[in-house]
Amino acid sequence: MHAAVVTEFGAPGVFALTELPDPVPGPGQLAIDVSHAAVGLIDVYIRQGLYKDREGLPQPPYVPGLEVAGTVRAVGAGVAGFRIGEPVVTLSGTGAEGGYASIAVVDAALTARLDGTGVDPAVAVAAVPNAATAFLALTEVAHLKPGERLLVHGALGGLASTFPGVARTLGAAAVVGTVRRSSLAAARASALPYDEIVAGEDLLDVVGRQRFDVVVDPVGGRLRTDSLQVMAPMGRMLLVGNASGDWEHTVPTNSLWFGSLALLGFSIGFYLPAHPEQAAPAARGAVEAIGQGLVDITTRTLPLAEAAEAHRLVEQGSVRGRILLAP
């Protein structure tokens, strides 16, 4: 098979297109002929070496990529419910590797069938893993209740953009999004089911007396602290990323007890392996939102040989939707 290999930690130029032996699935695994692999911010962070000392994450040389779509090539021992040639999409696992290749071996328990859903593979890999993340974050972590109000930062991002649609299926009363001031016009033209989109820089000025039961924050930095001021009593903030790149920012924890607020971190990559029984309902919740037209995600597909360029685009923070790689 051919694969985009990270040869060392560093800049995007560390990628090398390489021929490797075809992998064979072990017990509980599937081999997939990959049609599309999604490029995520976590892929960038791992390649940069930010998590080089984190147990369970790969060391160079390795093939990145958590999320792939394609067709089943081979079925490992003990796996039931999948047939050769059927279309599938993977949810995120902790390995953070293997997807940027023509063949990927994945955990069957973290793989969703696409037969009969009508969801295109490119849309599936761009949206299903993130929408499944949104479903689990809202149901299992934030415990969103019908009638509650939601605030979503980085509203057009690959992960954030799936939250309003999933929240609608769960009965949210209102969903407000934030973007950079420079992206406001484009954001307001999107088909995503937000009630309102505002500039994150102006959050405290523009939301007025609005208060939110759940805040979704993949951005971090000052926006995270500002959000504490617009949360309702017993409000929950979901921390699902740090796109701002501000790793030194701190949160005034005294405001949590005083306001009866909670900060809740969530990473599907570390949650699902411990709770594989949640994969199927999460995938169903994701496909339901997509099927209802509530998840509108823009994709751009590059050839696998341009993995370095894909990472540069994600690093620049200018990507709306998701970048995909096609072997």
What is the domain-level CATH number for residue 29? 3.90.180.10
| Residue 222 included in any domain | yes
Q: Tell me, what's the pLDDT at 71?
A: 97
Compute CA 264 distance to the chain's CA centroid, rounded to the nearest angstrom. 16
Q: Tell me, what's the pLDDT at 35?
A: 97
**Domain end among 251, 267, 283:** 267
How long is the chain?
A: 327
Global confidence as pTM: 0.80
Q: Tell me, what's the pLDDT at 109?
A: 87
| 86-95, 127-136, 229-238, 273-282, range with greatest mean pLDDT | 229-238
The label of the residue with tokens 């740090």 reads: 242
Residue 95 has pLDDT above 70, yes or no: no
Lowest mean pLDDT among 82-86, 264-268, 294-298: 294-298
Residue 197: which of 135, 154, 163 has the closest Cα? 154
Q: For the chain, what is the mean pLDDT?
A: 92
List, for residues 149-171, the tens digit of each pLDDT value.
999 999 988 899 999 999 999 99
Q: Tell me, what's the pLDDT at 93?
A: 57
Q: Is 146 helix (H, G, I), strand (E, B) or coil?
A: coil
Q: Any idea of the CA torsion for 4, 7, 11, 13, to the nearest 10 degrees?
A: -60
Contacts of 155 (CB under 8 A, 6+ apart): 161, 164, 177, 178, 179, 187, 192, 194, 197
Q: Are residues 177 and 247 in the same domain?
A: yes
Lowest mean pLDDT among 20-24, 62-66, 111-115, 315-319: 315-319
| Residue 180 included in any domain | yes
| Residue 310 included in any domain | yes
The number of folded domains in the chain is 2
115 or 175: which leads in pLDDT: 175
Q: Are residues 176 and 219 in the same domain?
A: yes
List, for residues 117-139, the tens digit of each pLDDT value.
888 899 999 998 889 999 999 99
Q: Tell me, what's the pLDDT at 242?
A: 87
Determine the average pLDDT of the residues in 176-203: 92
Per-residue confidence band for 317, with pLDDT thresholds at 50, 70 and 90: confident
Contacts 24+ apart (CB under 8 A), 171-174: 171/144, 171/145, 171/146, 171/147, 172/144, 172/146, 172/147, 172/148, 173/146, 173/147, 173/148, 173/149, 174/149, 174/150
Per-residue confidence band for 92, with pLDDT thresholds at 50, 70 and 90: low
The sign of the dihedral angle between the CA atoms of 141, 39, 295, 223 is: positive
Q: Are residues 249 and 148 in the same domain?
A: yes
| Residue 275 included in any domain | no
Which domain covers residue 142, as residue numbers?
133-267
- Pairing between strand 29-39 and 15-19? unpaired
**Domain end among 246, 267, 288:** 267
Q: Are residues 97 and 194 in the same domain?
A: no
Determine the average pLDDT of the residues in 91-106: 80
| Residue 187 included in any domain | yes
Structure tokens at 148: 């509650």
Q: Are residues 112 and 155 in the same domain?
A: no
Q: Are residues 39 and 99 in the same domain?
A: yes
H-run or E-run covering 226: helix 222-227
CATH code (residue 216): 3.40.50.720
Q: Are residues 140 and 234 in the same domain?
A: yes
Q: Tell me, what's the pLDDT at 94?
A: 47
Q: How far is CA 223 from CA 94, 108, 150, 166, in A?
A: 28, 38, 15, 23
